[in-house]
Amino acid sequence: MPQRYVARIKKQLARSKGRPGEADRAKILRWLEEGEADYQRRVDLRPRIEYPPELPVSERVADIREALDHHQVVIVAGETGSGKTTQIPKICLEAGRGTRGLIGHTQPRRLAARSVSSRIAEEIGEQVGQRVGYQVRFTDNTSADSLIKVMTDGILLSEIQHDRFLDRYDTLIIDEAHERSLNIDFLLGYLRNLLSKRPDLKIVITSATIEVDRFSAFFSDAPVIEVSGRTYPVEVRYRPLVGEDDDKDQGWSDGVVEALEEIEAHERSSGQRPGDVLVFLPGEREIREMSKALRHADLRHTEVLPLYSRLSAREQNRIFQGHAGRRIVLSTNVAETSLTVPGIRYVIDTGVARISRYSVRSKIQRLPVEPISQASANQRKGRCGRVAPGICFRLYDEADFLSRPEYTDPEILRTNLASVILQMAVSGLGDIRNFPFLEAPDNRLVNDGYKLLEELGAVNPKRQLTKLGRTMARLPVDPRLARMLVAGAEQGSLAEVLVVIAGLSVQDPRERPQDKQQAADQAHAPFNDKESDFVTLLNIWNVYEEQRQDLSQNQLRRLCQKSFLSYMRMREWRDVHRQLTLLCRDQKLPVNTRTASYEALHKAILSGLLGQVATKYEKREYLATRNRKVMLFPGSKVAKTTPKWIVAAEIVETSRVFARMLARIEPEWVEPLAGHVVKRHYFEPHWERKRAQVVGYEKVSLYGLDIVPRRRIGYAKVDPAEARQLYIRRALVEGDYSTRAPFIRHNREMLDTVEGMERKSRRRDLLVDEETLVAFYHERLPDSVVSGQHFETWWKELSASEIKALELTEADILQRDPDAGLETEYPDELQWEGVHYPLSYQFEPTSQDDGVTLQVPLMALKQVPAHRVDWLVPGLLREKCIHLVKGLPKAIRRNFVPVPDFVDAALANMTPSNEPLTEKLADQLRRMTGVRIDPEAWQGIELPAHLQMNIRVVDDQGGKLAEGRDVTDIQSRLEGRAEEALSQAPETGPTKDSEPAEHWAFGSLPESVDTEKGGMRVRVYPALEDLGRQVRPIRCLDPLTSRRVTERGVARLIVNRFGSTLDGIERKLPEFKSAALLFAPVGKAESLRDDLLISSVIDHFLAESLPRDKAAFDTLFDAHRGDFIPYLEERTRLVHAILKTYNGLMKQLKGKIPLALANSMADVKFQLSQLIYPGFLVATPGEWLAHFPRYLDAVEVRLEKMPREMGRERTFLHEFEGLWSRYAKRRDAHEKQRLSDPELLRYRWMLEEYRVSFFAQQLGTATTVSVQRLDRQWEKVST
């Protein structure tokens, strides 16, 4: 009875616990009858068996049958060509197998499964699909009458899921077991476990003569039957290459050429015809290079053909076609076992191959070139002993051969095990580590397989199969591709994903023959997509499908040929697609009908390739997950656009680590798909005032690759305790939070007051430390308060007493009592000339504003007393003076020891002023010790920042415009802007939009206006500025300057008011013409006329009052206009007299001057230039102008005495230099600040009176004058 019926009956009995009911008994009886009938039918189907006598295996038929009869497992060892693959299924049939179930016959490759089934069917005289059928992925060509089923080992593996005991089979033949593929090793382990449960099952393992003893031992010393192959003797010649190991591959072409020369010599000596040569090389690149080298070697009557798996079927088939002369086949290890090259008499073995190895550490499927094993070398040698005695040339020495491993590592030791683990899990086979593999895999590979499945979501962290994993296991594709299919259904792109996965499951249909590469590239160009190689596959598919529906099969074949597409691979692609589509429907995965977007397609693809993501690193290099640096495969069109982020279907190491089959992706696609495997790192928690919460950053990394390098998040969700701590510290203690909570406002005022005291006194010993304040709130706030929102909700529900309990007291915040007099020593403002400059304090030695900062609005910048700020504030003045004295040269400093005592004594007699601090300090030290300190001695003394006033210039809104310690520099840099700012204030009085006018058109002119600028009140003084013909309103910072400017402006308006009355006035003034001629060396007559008119108006009209509105102006004009012309005539006579005397003096100063008189004569010239100059009439008050004749007479007296009184001259010059110098400096400073000081003006004319008293005392003076009186007057001068 067939085993499947036996299994069915056993299951029924088990379900009924050995006591079946009537219905169960009826079922069992029916199955017994059906099973018996089926058995008899299958017996009758057995064909008549014959064995080809030329096959070596035919000689061992009886031995194999006997072994099958007496053993459950039989191992048949034989070389390729012995006939074991095609004859053993027939031997099993003849032995009675195949009647109780199928004879299953596995092959490593689909092509072999098809060809073997065809050969067996042909030998028994049938078509494939009847008594002999085959099944490969997505294709089942068997029937109910099939006795033999040839299949790939993967098919048998997939059947285990739903047929745990393989009840469909009574015999299994595992062919080519020596290849030790992953599937073969798994099948061998599974079958070993199954033997005890299926004693009726027979297993035949076929292998080359490799590792047969290991197979036998694995199956409890199963018998081994060896079958000889059809081979001739092969001579081995070792011809090692010369050179360093790293350079030997460069010498392969030389070694091959030398071997060919040796072959020619051998054939000539033995009289043989040229034989074909098979050369084993590691890869395509080496084949291309060798082919080029051989073409340049001038080999006569020789054809060179490449052979590797990526060649099209047409190009591969060329090796089977007849030819004349010698043929040299350059092949990878594909010709070692997979494909038999006919007619080979010589083999040239380089001894290396590209062996696929999976790196657990880097997660890269490597293809390194490495030495082959002894078994592989012998397989290669055997390729030349099939038709005649052969010679194998090994391009390495015998010692190297003997040192190599005996066998190639099985695939299970060098590949990812995810697929096997998934199949075992869904089949309920338990932990892979307990599975009886022929050779147990490394634990690292096992763990890595589980990690991949966890990445794909097929297993959970406990390594338990998930629902998604079960769905994936039912799809007979790589787990990565299965994950893409499931995601395609979720993303609405399954239709496109099916095409892509089917395309990835078959060999690339694009052909690129070596002799037509450019034409192939041009034909493929329309398919190419610059962003995605997967879309390129879609494009190929779409074009093919469109044409397939419109063209006949022959036309379609020609189209493929024209487009350099493999017709057979396209058909295979379509078959795979059809089968996958059916499987997805079985799994109820919805297929979209609308075209999916780029994003939907690539998200689905990305779901299966999370470990293959990379971002651009530098130039053409990318940084992939797990810190791998990869290059984009040059053959990909995506490599030319170098997108920022890519995903690769595979990352393979050959000559370099290449990412192949690429697509552009966006990093934000990754996280939703990889949420279960990404690592999240939270960092930099910080308070954000605007959001009123603690915010941090999240870094999301996928296997070490940052996909979200820095994302802002609410930190309370991550670490509420840390968020609460930061909220208390930053928001409540440091005050970086706006709230209406009354206790917070009270607490901040308390803290601000104490912190201000500390900043002023430059000590940190008043306020308790921050941790004490944090603890205060920590004890009183509930744990739930972690943000501003939580805080507001909480405090609004508190009672008045609870709010009061949250207020800080002095006992809570003070470590000691504050110093007495703090407010006096460190005032909050600096008062000067009626202006109150705000002062702020900072105690941060490294900050820009450490020390005292004086804030000044831009418009008041010129008014800042440059020297007064040097005096700082009382609390810092003593420290600054001590620092200055200690910075003096030692020779001077030793006179003031101890320095603090001398400084204290000096400060007792010093009052802050707008005079240099160092001058005043030097005066006091000289008074105490008699030691004079040269002003230059103070130069170069470096002061700490806090001992220099920091000036901060602000705009109208209080924004900082400039800041620094050098007042003069800031004033110079912002001079223009300060003028502009001043001109735009205030809003009242003459408006800032008033235009210049020739008459009074400005409304009223207030004496002063107060305005808020930059947070401080500034008083400005409106004025009228003379522009020459017109007058405009301006603002001044000084009342005296405002009056002086306005006097001239009003005088201009009065002149204008006279109108034509003053036209040609110079002709009505007898002395003016003469005066203008005398003034010619100094200035123009027109300038003198204007100066005369304006000065006369000022002295005549404005001596008593200044009009502030139009009515007062009109009244003033009417009151004084009648007697103005006589006054003008009198003033003209005075000016004429002054200029006449001046002209005479200047004539005396011309000509050759004795050297002894040079300094004195220069002083006279200087004096005259300070008296007579363009505009001197307006600049000189009328009361002093009246004394000009006497000043000039005194000059004449001096010139007459000068040669006789050189001693007095020297005394005067020495004494007068300092008196004038201080005046000039102060005058310039006042002009820069736009200040006017009548005391300075009086001092200036007292200097002229002093000249008179010194040189022409007999002329008398307007006021008593001496050096002492000048000093006393100087003390009255504004600083």
Alpha-carbon torsion, ordered 107, 113, 115, 117, to 10 deg = 110
Which among 679, 687, 674, 678 is positioned nearest to 734, based on CA atoms? 687
Which among 440, 497, 452, 504 is positioned nearest to 479, based on CA atoms? 452
Which among 784, 785, 782, 776 is positioned nearest to 806, based on CA atoms? 776
What integer is the mean pLDDT of 466-489? 90
Residue-wise pLDDT tens digits, 1014-1035 = 566 777 888 999 998 899 998 8
What are 229's two structure tokens? 């192959």
The pLDDT assigned to 356 comes to 76
Residue-wise pLDDT tens digits, 279-312 = 999 888 788 889 988 888 878 889 999 988 667 6
Contacts of 574 (CB under 8 A, 6+ apart): 502, 544, 548
Residue-wise pLDDT tens digits, 715-751 = 999 999 999 999 999 999 988 999 999 999 999 998 8
What are 976's two structure tokens? 């223009």
With residue 295 as reference, give the H or E element that holds it.
helix 284-295
Which among 1231, 1205, 1234, 1024 is positioned nearest to 1109, based on CA atoms? 1024
Give alpha helix (H) positions in 809-916: 810-813, 822-825, 874-886, 890-893, 899-907
Using CA atoms, how far apart are residues 264 and 251, in angstroms rounded to an integer? 20
Contacts of 979 (CB under 8 A, 6+ apart): none
Burial class (CB in 10 A: 0-12, 13-18, 19+), 860: buried
Residue-wise pLDDT tens digits, 674-695 = 999 999 999 999 999 999 999 9
Strands 73-78 and 645-653, how do they pair? Answer: unpaired
pTM of the model: 0.58
Contacts of 286 (CB under 8 A, 6+ apart): 249, 252
Average pLDDT, the chain: 88
Using CA atoms, how far apart are residues 246 and 243, in angstroms rounded to an integer? 8
What are 1084's two structure tokens? 């123009």
Residue-wise pLDDT tens digits, 901-948 = 999 999 999 988 888 999 999 999 999 999 999 989 998 899 999 999
Using CA atoms, how far apart are residues 403 and 290, in angstroms rounded to an integer? 27
Kindly tell me if the per-residue pLDDT of 1197 is higher than 70.
yes
Buried b (16+ CB within 10 A) or exposed e, 957-979: eeeebbeebebeebbebbeebbb
Residues 393/377, Cβ–Cβ less than 8 Å: no
**Residues in a beta bridge with 954:** 857, 960
The pLDDT assigned to 313 comes to 58
Residues 278/340, Cβ–Cβ less than 8 Å: no
The pLDDT assigned to 418 comes to 87
Which among 472, 442, 476 is positioned nearest to 459, based on CA atoms? 472
Give alpha helix (H) positions in 457-615: 467-473, 479-491, 494-505, 517-524, 533-550, 553-562, 567-586, 598-607
Residue 439: phi, psi to the nearest 5? -145, 110
Using CA atoms, how far apart are residues 197 and 1270, in angstroms rounded to an integer? 131
In the three-class reduction of DSSP (H, G, I as helix; E, B as strand; rest coil), residue 1152 is classed as coil
Chain position carrying tokens 């040609």: 1064
In the three-class reduction of DSSP (H, G, I as helix; E, B as strand; rest coil), residue 434 is classed as helix
CATH number of the domain located at residue range(s) 46-227 in this protein: 3.40.50.300
The pLDDT assigned to 382 comes to 82
Which among 119, 181, 166, 172 is positioned nearest to 149, based on CA atoms? 172
Q: What is the CA radius of gyration of the chain?
A: 55
The pLDDT assigned to 1279 comes to 67
Using CA atoms, how far apart are residues 372 and 154, in angstroms rounded to an integer? 26
The pLDDT assigned to 1256 comes to 94
Kindly tell me if the per-residue pLDDT of 603 is higher than 90.
yes
Using CA atoms, how far apart are residues 1165 and 1195, in angstroms rounded to an integer? 10
Least confident range from 421-435, 451-465, 647-661, 936-950: namely 421-435
What integer is the mean pLDDT of 865-883? 92
The pLDDT assigned to 387 comes to 77
Alpha-carbon torsion, ordered 557, 558, 562, 567, to 10 deg = 10
**Residues in a beta bridge with 1017:** 1012
Buried b (16+ CB within 10 A) or exposed e, 617-655: eeeeebbbbbebebebbeebbbbeeebebbbbbbbbbbe
Please report how many Cα atoms fall inside a 13 Å half-sphere around the Cα of residue 851, on the Cβ side: 26
* HEC string for 485-525: HHHHHHHCCHHHHHHHHHHHHCCCCECCCHHHHHHHHHHHH
In the three-class reduction of DSSP (H, G, I as helix; E, B as strand; rest coil), residue 1153 is classed as coil
Fill in the amino acid letter for 72. Q
Using CA atoms, how far apart are residues 617 and 624, in angstroms rounded to an integer? 9
The pLDDT assigned to 977 comes to 85
Using CA atoms, how far apart are residues 577 and 502, in angstroms rounded to an integer? 5
**Count of Cβ atoms closer than 10 Å to residue 63 Cβ:** 16
What are 433's two structure tokens? 């580590």
The pLDDT assigned to 211 comes to 76
Kindly tell me if the per-residue pLDDT of 149 is higher than 80.
yes
Kindly tell me if the per-residue pLDDT of 338 is higher than 60.
no
CA separation (Å) from 215 to 192, 205, 333, 420?
11, 8, 24, 21
Kindly tell me if the per-residue pLDDT of 558 is higher than 70.
yes
Residue-wise pLDDT tens digits, 1051-1069 = 999 999 888 888 888 888 8
Residue-wise pLDDT tens digits, 46-101 = 898 999 988 888 989 999 999 999 999 999 998 766 788 899 999 999 999 999 99
Burial class (CB in 10 A: 0-12, 13-18, 19+), 490: middle
Kindly tell me if the per-residue pLDDT of 229 is higher than 70.
no
Strands 1016-1026 and 1031-1036, how do they pair? Answer: antiparallel
Give the DSSP letter of residue 174: E
Share of the chain above pLDDT 90, in %: 53
> Which CATH number, 1.10.287.3240, 3.40.50.300, 3.40.50.2300, 1.20.58.110, labels domain 234-409?
3.40.50.300
Which among 846, 938, 815 is positioned nearest to 886, based on CA atoms? 938
Which among 393, 427, 33 is positioned nearest to 235, based on CA atoms? 393
What integer is the mean pLDDT of 786-806? 93
Chain position carrying tokens 């009355």: 1061
Residue 474: phi, psi to the nearest 5? -80, -10
Using CA atoms, how far apart are residues 610 and 600, in angstroms rounded to an integer? 15
What integer is the mean pLDDT of 229-245? 78
Using CA atoms, how far apart are residues 996 and 589, in angstroms rounded to an integer? 87
Measured distance between the N- and C-terminal CA atoms of the chain, rounded to whole angstroms: 128
The pLDDT assigned to 128 comes to 92
Using CA atoms, how far apart are residues 953 and 1014, in angstroms rounded to an integer? 9
Residue-wise pLDDT tens digits, 340-369 = 677 889 999 999 988 877 766 656 566 678
Residues 194/76, Cβ–Cβ less than 8 Å: no
CA separation (Å) from 232 to 330, 382, 383?
22, 9, 10
**Count of Cβ atoms closer than 10 Å to residue 1264 Cβ:** 9
Which of the pair, 970 or 14, is modelled with greater confidence? 970
In the three-class reduction of DSSP (H, G, I as helix; E, B as strand; rest coil), residue 206 is classed as strand
